[in-house]
Chain A
Amino acid sequence: KAGVTQTPRYLIKTRGQQVTLSCSPISGHRSVSWYQQTPGQGLQFLFEYFSETQRNKGNFPGRFSGRQFSNSRSEMNVSTLELGDSALYLCASSKGTGNTGELFFGEGSRLTVL
């Protein structure tokens, strides 16, 4: 069974640009959550999608957005990039909602903003 796949794995952008990250969950998993990981703040919840609907969003500005497709694949977008957006973006899939059972993480997309 294939694991959670994230693309791209590494990317470099400049301030003001926008970026789109992709996540393919484990087959059969309907929930995809996104987390931002930085050395100082640890893992911070961005948002969760379940059956194409955003269930909730963390404390991030509106520049951070996402969506989920009918095949459960998810994308997140960050517009008008800032230096502080440099981080590892992890997505995780789960069978049910992401707060009641095991999260299966991808390897992450490491974003560097120059």
Chain B
Amino acid sequence: GENVEQHPSTLSVQEGDSAVIKCTYSDSASNYFPWYKQELGKRPQLIIDIRSNVGEKKDQRIAVTLNKTAKHFSLHITETQPEDSAVYFCAAPRFSGGGADGLTFGKGTHLIIQP
């Protein structure tokens, strides 16, 4: 099955600085890589995703890069703001004998924005 490793587990940055979270995956067949943000006490919500036919995708202050050869993808947040404080999860498709089913999530990164 798919194995997703996420680093770091905790990241503290000064407000206005950039934050980078990295994930690696094991199955070369993976073709969809979403990032979810979970604020304290709330549900996870998709913030950005990338498919394997592109190397980078941006949405305002958030960007995701994908390196298929190295099997890793990263979330980049620029000009961090207090509301960026949350737990961020990366994910990749699970694979079984019948094909891709469900998602395997990384264990999460707790991003702390220091004022």
State the A residues within 8 Å of B (CB). Answer: 33, 35, 41-45, 47-48, 55-56, 58-59, 90, 97-103, 105-108
Query: B63-79 vs A: 1/0 string, CB under 8 Å?
Result: 00000000000000000
State the B residues within 8 Å of A (CB). Answer: 1, 32, 34, 36, 42-46, 49, 89, 91, 93-94, 96, 98, 100-108
Interface of B is mostly: strand
Chain A residues closer than 8 Å to B42, beta-carbon distance: 107
Find out whether the CB atom of B89 lies under 8 angstroms from the CB atom of A45: no
Find out whether the CB atom of A98 lies under 8 angstroms from the CB atom of B49: no
Closest 6 CB pairs of A and B: A56-B101, A99-B93, A42-B107, A43-B105, A105-B43, A45-B102
Find out whether the CB atom of A56 lies under 8 angstroms from the CB atom of B44: no
Q: Which of A42, A47, A58, A101 contacts B89 (CB 8 A)?
A: A42
Chain A residues closer than 8 Å to B96, beta-carbon distance: 56
